[in-house]
Chain A
């Protein structure tokens, strides 16, 4: 048996050559090119299964539109944007697990999303632990209040903004209605919405009486007892932060009681057009407020957003969370390009104070607490217009409040921002 001997000289040649090649691969020109072409990964958490799928699926789709929109116009600094989308099943425990997966396995550089603040707030500690930017697309004020952190942003309207704007709108449009009642979902969002609605009435020094406060479980099946109790209270105005299927169930069950004839005004702080699409001809003329309403602003970006969405998926981008996902992706792109790197502290600095255009208008990210502030918050009263396949706001009833007027004063947010 002849063993092939390797001489010392040959050994040096092979190993040295290999090292040289490896060195070039690590430090040389081809590497730079490779890095420049390496896609930038964003991770997204929204709910695509179960009862919230009707909210989460459009949110995923809207983010895909943002991805196409960016990649078709050259990506981010010439690098392709790749989304990694995960279903949080509207469970905090699952959201946290998927957040870890996105960061550790998929190695995404930024995370955004969640439909429920319950899930999103559970992810905040992870954003801090991993030192990853997390942009919330759910509404809690806590992201930019008690839970605020250098890594956490909430760039859409908050619960307080939506609820106070609803109150301001009622003071202006239904000043005679003095007896108010509330029906809200029995978790943080519902309780905060109701408190901020009352705060809004107080802001305007509008003298009102609260005749009934009710809170129903999320996913409530039978609203009849709530409806009859509200009617028994003789409320003239009813405020609600019920949303998604709950709002539709409430409306469908309340209608036969003559509820909407008996109360003078009904106002909701989270009425995405998904509600009026779902209800079809059963929709009613009540006041709605949503983070995104497709027909208010006739801008090129809004037309492009709706057009691309319709072309790819059919139908309207109906869930307002979707527009916030679009905005989150866009904000990250702009911030990365502004500083020319995906380096987290630099991107944080670029996001702070960023002013940018989104489909629903202009946004500004307040640097001190990372709260997004919209140019205006819009309400409107639904009516039937044969031009549209579903009920839309009557343009004559458009009611806008400047976002800066609604933003919580900095000394009241409770945010103590740490250094990144």
Chain B
């Protein structure tokens, strides 16, 4: 096999990895601090895509980037409502109950979406500026939008890293992920911190949904199709670890891409083999932060 083809597939894989990271980052932060396995994260991702579609449709000439910003705000508000009313009542309960509640969010959000948006597929076009591809050595095309996704992933990773490691709020989140009791002992308003973090997670999910729009059919249930892979990333990376989510996203994205291209009969298995290997050798995940 040519070396250039290998590099090409590496870049193709990276664009999938970064999309996965955008979704997984919010989930791992929520899971880490709030200790809630938020199954409805995929639904917030779906809402991001729907809102982006409707903002683009109802405001002619609205730039794609601005549509994402509006959509992220809308999903953030929904995240706040979910956290503020039902979720904060069950922080101390068992995971089973939390899972059940976040699962009920999926059903409610799905049904509400069906009610307001119908069940037809919707489609967001690739923004004009990013339509098309650049030609790489070996006469192979690399879609500009996929390069854009890679950049988005890297920028978000960098900003989150800055936010988590260089700001007071970030340090509180880290401290809380490691030891929750310590936070309230220090006089921190923990419920408010939790709300903020849940909104941050929802915003990340919403943004990932909006950015996925041009690559996928916007439809009810699109969240459920990603959530298992996203949980696999969070578990492989280590619950609550941003670095872990980043590395695991790259691993799973590239494994999937190389699997499909070079070992198509086993492509599906690679992700799960990775999960099993990590669970057996490092049950806490690669970079567990507590």
Q: Taking beta carbons and an 8 Å cutoff, which residues of A are in contact with B?
A: 48-54, 57-58, 186, 214-217, 219, 221-222, 224-226, 228-229, 231-232, 244-245, 248-249, 252-253, 256-258, 274-275, 277-282, 315, 318
Contact with A along B254-286 (1 / 0, CB 8 A): 001110110010001000000000000000000
User: When the two chains form the complex, which single residue of B143, B256, B258 contacts A256, counting CB atoms closer than 8 Å?
Assistant: B143
With known contacts A225-B260, A228-B261, A51–B225 Cβ distance under 8 A:
yes
Chain A residues within 8 Å of B126, by CB? 256
Least CB separation from A57: chain B residue: B119
Instruction: Give Cα A51 to B253, complex, Å.
Output: 22
Return the chain B residue nearest A278 by Cβ.
B121
Q: With an 8 A cutoff between CB atoms, is B69 at the interface?
A: no
Max count, chain A CB within 10 A of own CB: residue among B8, B141, B268: B141
> A51 touching B222 by the CB < 8 A rule?
yes
Task: Answer whether A252 and B217 are a contact pair too, CB < 8 Å, given A51-B225, A225-B261.
Answer: yes
Q: Considering the chains assembled together, what is the distance between the CA atoms of A33 and B205 in angstroms?
A: 60
For the complex, is B123 an interface residue (Cβ under 8 Å from A)? yes
- List chain B residues, Cβ under 8 A from A224: 12, 15-16, 146, 257
**Is B121's CB under 8 angstroms from A248's CB?**
yes
Q: A226-B260, A258-B141, A278-B217 are in contact. Are A221 and B125 (CB under 8 A)?
A: no
Chain B's nearest CB lies how many Å from the CB of A227? 9
User: In the complex, which residue of chain A has the Cβ closest to the Cβ of B213?
Assistant: A252
Given A52, A221, A229, which contacts B226 in the complex, CB threshold below 8 Å? A221
Note all chain A residues with C-beta closer than 8 A to B119.
48, 53-54, 57-58
B131 and A54: CB pair below 8 A? Answer: no
Other than the known A221-B225, A278-B122, A278-B219, what 19 A-B pairs have Cβ atoms closer than 8 Å? A51-B220, A54-B120, A58-B119, A214-B260, A217-B268, A222-B257, A224-B15, A224-B146, A225-B9, A225-B260, A226-B260, A228-B261, A229-B264, A256-B141, A256-B144, A258-B133, A275-B121, A278-B217, A279-B123
A52's partner among B122, B143, B221, B261 (CB-CB below 8 A) is B221
| CB atoms of A249 and B260 under 8 A apart | no
Interface flags for B86-123 (1: CB within 8 Å of A; 0: not) read 00000000000000000000010010001000011111
* Contact call B123/A278, Cβ cutoff below 8 A: yes
Which of these, B13, B140, B222, contacts A225 with CB under 8 Å? B13
- Tell me the bound Cα distance from A226 to B264 in angstroms: 9
Chain B contact residues (Cβ within 8 angstroms of A): what range?
Answer: 35 or more
Contact, CB under 8 Å: B145 / A256: yes
Q: How far is the CA of A280 from the CA of B218 in the complex (A)?
A: 12
B132 touching A256, Cβ below 8 Å: yes
Complexed CA–CA distance, A226 and B261 (Å): 7
What is the bound-complex CA distance between A176 and B255, given in angstroms?
A: 37
Inter-subunit contact A249/B215 (CB<8 Å) = yes
> When the two chains form their complex, are residues A49 and B110 in contact, meaning their CB atoms are under 8 A apart?
yes
B180 at the interface (CB under 8 A from A): no
Q: How far is the CA of A58 from the CA of B121 in the complex (A)?
A: 12
Least CB distance from B233 to A in Å reads 13
- 3 tightest CB-CB pairs across the interface, nearest first? A278-B121, A256-B143, A51-B221
Asked if B121 contacts A252 (CB within 8 A), the reply is: no
> What are 21 pairs between A and B in contact, CB < 8 Å?
A50-B110, A51-B224, A51-B225, A53-B110, A53-B114, A54-B121, A214-B260, A219-B225, A221-B16, A225-B13, A225-B256, A228-B140, A248-B121, A256-B131, A256-B133, A257-B133, A258-B141, A274-B120, A275-B121, A278-B120, A278-B122
From residue A116, how far is it (CB to closest CB) to chain B in Å? 14
B219 engages A54 (CB within 8 Å): yes
Docked CA distance A59–B32 (Å): 42
**A-side contacts of B256, CB under 8 Å:** 222, 225
Question: Are A50 and B224 touching (Cβ within 8 A)?
Answer: yes
- Which chain B residues lie closer than 8 Å to A231 at the CB level? 140-141
Beta-carbon contact of B224 and A252 below 8 Å = no
Instruction: Return the chain A residue nearest B5 by Cβ.
Output: A232
**Residue B289 at the A interface, CB < 8 A?**
no
For B189-229 the 0/1 string (1 means CB < 8 A from A) is 00000000000000000000000001111011110111001
In the complex, how many angstroms separate the beta carbon of B74 from the nearest chain A beta carbon? 22
Q: Which residues of A contact B140 (CB under 8 A)?
A: 228, 231
CB B151 to nearest CB in A, in angstroms, measures 16
Q: Please indicate the chain B residues that have their CB under 8 angstroms from the CB of A280 in the complex.
A: 123, 125
- B residues 30-46 near A (Cβ < 8 Å) are none
Q: Which residue of A lies closest to B122 (CB)?
A: A278
Residues on A with beta carbons closer than 8 Å to the beta carbon of B214: 252
Instruction: Find out whether the CB atom of B12 lies under 8 angstroms from the CB atom of A225.
Output: yes
The answer, among B107, B120, B222, for a CB contact under 8 Å with A277, is B120
Whether B261 pairs with A50 at a CB distance below 8 angstroms is no
Inter-chain CA distance A219–B221, complex, in Å, is 10
Least CB distance, A40 to chain B, in whole angstroms: 28
B131: A residues at CB distance < 8 A:
256
* B266 → A minimal CB distance (Å): 12
Which residues of chain B are near A216, meaning CB under 8 Å? 260
Cβ-neighbour of B215 out of A54, A217, A253, A315 (below 8 A): A253
Report B-chain residues with C-beta under 8 Å of the C-beta of A278: 120-123, 217, 219
Whether A222 contacts B16 by the Cβ 8 Å rule is: yes
Contact between A228 and B12 (Cβ–Cβ < 8 Å)?
yes
B19 to chain A: closest CB distance in Å?
8
Given known A53-B114, A224-B12, contact A229–B261 (CB-CB < 8 A): yes
- Interface centre among A215, A228, A258, A277, by most B CB within 10 Å? A228
State which of B9, B133, B141, B220 has its C-beta within 8 Å of the C-beta of A50: B220
Q: Which of B114, B222, B261 contacts A245 (CB 8 A)?
A: B222
Give every chain A residue within 8 A of B144 (Cβ-Cβ). 256
For A244, list chain B residues within 8 Å (CB).
121
Are A228 and B8 in contact (CB-based, < 8 A)?
yes
User: B231 to chain A: closest CB distance in Å?
Assistant: 14
Q: Which residues of A contact B226 (CB under 8 A)?
A: 221
Give A332 Cβ to nearest chain B Cβ, in Å.
Answer: 26
* Cα A253 to Cα B123 with chains together (Å): 12
CB neighbours (8 Å) of A249 from chain B are 215-217
* Contacts A222-B16, A224-B16, A280-B123 given; does A54 touch B143 at CB 8 Å: no
Shortest Cβ distance from A205 into chain B, in angstroms? 30
Which residues in A have their C-beta under 8 angstroms from that of B123?
248, 252, 278-280, 282
For the complex, give the distance between the alpha carbons of A245 and B19 in Å. Answer: 18
Residues of B with C-beta under 8 A to A248: 121, 123, 216-217
